[in-house]
């Protein structure tokens, strides 16, 4: 007779895991609901990769010509990045107007250098709270 040994060990979370969990929980329940209500807030709408429902996320970035640039705080761990990878067609609210476009995560772009070209307020928060920065370029249809 052979004995079956089961290990119910859990990986001990590291500092980045704890920071990610704390920041995303605060954003989900407090910051994002408040920011979504601001008429001037830039918003990114993706299609939920599982639900197929629209998902709206407050973001910060800058439009340069027919492109919009932003930096994700948590890269591949961000839900909206996962949604973009499943369906890269997005909508973006800028100055109260909804625009459509195609999003492109750019993991090889220097996200820290990119943040220096984006609005300072949001960039400071992303730099402070983020653990896995990733640049995203949205090619606007208009």
Predicted local confidence at residue 31, as pLDDT: 64
The string of pLDDT tens digits covering residues 40-52 is 899 999 999 999 9
- Answer whether residue 1 shows pLDDT above 70: no
Q: Which domain holds residue 48?
A: 15-140
- Answer whether residue 71 shows pLDDT above 90: yes
Q: Is residue 97 part of a domain?
A: yes
Q: Exposed, middle or buried: residue 140 (CB in 10 Å: 0-12, 13-18, 19+)?
A: middle
Q: Is residue 32 part of a domain?
A: yes
CA distances, 44 to each of 10, 30, 66, 89 (Å): 35, 18, 16, 11
Q: Which residues contact 122 (CB under 8 A, 6 or more apart)?
A: 59, 60, 61
Q: Considering its fold, how many domains does the chain have in total?
A: 1
> Over the chain, what is the mean pLDDT?
90
Residue 77's φ and ψ, nearest 5 degrees, are -85, -15
Model's pTM, two decimal places?
A: 0.84
């Amino acid at each position: 007779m052979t004995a079956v040994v089961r290990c119910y060990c859990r990986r001990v979370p590291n500092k980045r895991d704890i920071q990610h969990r704390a920041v995303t929980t605060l954003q989900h329940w407090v910051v994002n609901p408040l920011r979504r209500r601001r008429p001037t807030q830039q918003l990114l709408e993706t299609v939920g990769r599982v639900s197929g429902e629209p998902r709206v996320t407050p973001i910060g970035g800058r439009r340069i010509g027919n492109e919009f640039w932003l930096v994700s705080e948590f890269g591949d761990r961000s839900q909206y990045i996962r949604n973009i990878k499943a369906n890269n067609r997005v909508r973006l609210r800028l100055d109260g107007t909804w625009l459509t476009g195609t999003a492109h995560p750019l993991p090889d772009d220097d996200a820290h250098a990119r943040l220096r070209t984006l609005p300072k307020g949001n960039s400071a928060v992303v730099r402070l709270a983020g653990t896995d920065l990733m640049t995203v370029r949205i090619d606007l249809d208009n």
